[in-house]
Structure 1
């Protein structure tokens, strides 16, 4: 019905953005050799490249929200995300989210406030961020296979930013399979997309080139945890009567449509910003 569900955000207009992008790529390449990654983790369902997750997660075996266990890679990730260029990139991506999908953005912000107020041990990656977690794909050749990020909120959004040193006219294109779209995706560009349901990948780059990427997202499990009064689904359901369980199942079936109505049409955005 005309609702905006993905945004090709391009690059910020700042004259120094190319310098900022180059600085991030240099930092990633310098830190990549300091990572401790098991061989088994170098090949995964998204492709054959090094990926490190940092932030607040819930799902895949956790019984409650926790900070991702970075083990030996904590110092590397802390140093990278403390850099001004990564903070600037995160703020840019947050601004895209806030401007284009303000109602959903507000839901994400509210979630983070509730999570961190309830458990101060949970540490966001960036001050004031709406996203619970980030993954930095160190490559050095980040060529992702077609996939969805099924742990993310089903009707939610994530940001993907390409980084590195490659010719975007010859490779590294973003492929949105369900939309039959192939898009030039240069270093420093960002897309906002519903990665839990929209299959996406990127094309190969040229020999000798380097491509990395930076993503921000929130798992659906975190939203369920807060909605259930800071309890797991199993504990929440165990405390319900048969009638209450039936009502909960009915509400669960409606959440997708409710989520879709958090997206805006162009006309709604025009009216909102004209007010």
Structure 2
């Protein structure tokens, strides 16, 4: 167990421990801020590394070849369009699931061509990817039970209101609305925050690939001055909207992929607004000045209410 203390003058700290059990990290008030989830112990005759981590990585690599091996004319058209480097890094990535934000007037599934959608659907159907989702879901429930319940309740409301929206997984496997496959082949992200995610919410990151975690692929949490060893097949849950994060380079000829799960803040606002956008309410002539003032107070209060969803750790604490 680790207590996080942030000092501007202190150097980044690297965690070398290899916990046999998931390790929560708490803040100064003993609230569980994030979880170093690791991966389950192997069962007799079964290997998480072989059945899950390696299998998922191999299928992501094959999917990347299928997605990004495109006709020569299409490559030329992309080059002429002058596409910029993505904000999180230059690696290839595809998102799937229910999205809300960036000007959308209602929740809807991320749009892809039929070919891309089939490839992504096949990835979600893999037993290895579903086992990752199930393990992540169990970690989320164990270390942030109230927050996990909030995620499930809000996503269920979205899907019941609009049955055309489709979850990536069955509810028992995941409470996240959206996921991104980072196809690498060397997924190295720039320092960033996921500002479209729920401010106090959690994002799950699962590392995959063939790389030595002692020499690269570490998760860097810049605001906490932590550098965390991140082996292939392991999962970490963090509040990605408020913690600036990135990962370190891997060595030449190594591969690193990742699978992330999250829920955009826009979905939570949509449910809170009784299935309307903020813009709809703010621009409506039927919204009274008193209602505008109440909403302003609510926005200021929601952060405090959200932080209360964090679980308070009552066990022993060690200092990183």
> Do these two structures clear the TM 0.5 threshold for a shared fold by scoring above it?
yes
1:168-198 alpha-carbon deviations (Å, 9 max, x no partner): 0000011000000001101011111000010
Q: Distance in 1 between matches of 2:83 and 2:204?
A: 23
Identify which of 2, 26, 44 aligns with 2:58: 26
Identify which of 230, 234, 243 aligns with 2:275: 230
1:127-149 alpha-carbon deviations (Å, 9 max, x no partner): 11210000000001100010000
Q: Return 91-100 or 40-49, whichever deviates more.
A: 40-49
Identify which of 154, 158, 171 aligns with 2:203: 158
Give the match's secondary structure for 2:314: helix
Give the match's secondary structure for 1:62: coil
Structure 1 segment 236-255 matched on structure 2, within 5 A: 236-237=281-282, 238=284, 239-255=286-302
Structure 1 segment 260-275 matched on structure 2, within 5 A: 260-267=307-314
Q: Distance in 1 between matches of 2:299 and 2:200?
A: 13
Aligned to 1:10: 38
Which of 1 and 2 has greater Rg? 2
Aligned to 2:155: 112
Identify which of 223, 235, 254 aligns with 1:190: 235
Shift of residue 240, structure 1, vs aligned partner = 1.8
1:16-64 alpha-carbon deviations (Å, 9 max, x no partner): 1011211111111111111158566682111110010000000012111
For structure 1, list consecutive stretches of 5 or more residues without a partner in the other structure: 269-275
Identify which of 114, 120, 124 aligns with 1:77: 120
Give the match's secondary structure for 2:67: coil
1:220-274 alpha-carbon deviations (Å, 9 max, x no partner): 0000001111011111232321011111101100110100000011129xxxxxx
Give the match's secondary structure for 1:182: strand
Residues 1:60 and 2:83 aligned together: no
Identify which of 137, 146, 154 aligns with 1:103: 146
Q: Return 193-202 or 64-73, whichever deviates more.
A: 64-73
TM-score (norm 1): 0.94
Q: Distance in 2 between matches of 1:99 and 1:264?
A: 9
Q: Distance in 1 between matches of 2:112 and 2:233?
A: 26
Q: Return 225-234 or 35-44, whichever deviates more.
A: 35-44
CA RMSD in angstroms, aligned pairs only: 1.4
After TM superposition, what 4+ stretches of structure 1 lie above 4 angstroms from structure 2? 36-42
Q: Return 173-182 or 6-15, whichever deviates more.
A: 6-15
The answer to whether the 8 Å contact 1:165/1:209 transfers is yes
Q: Which has the higher helix share?
A: 1
TM-score (norm 2): 0.81
Residues 1:144 and 2:189 aligned together: yes
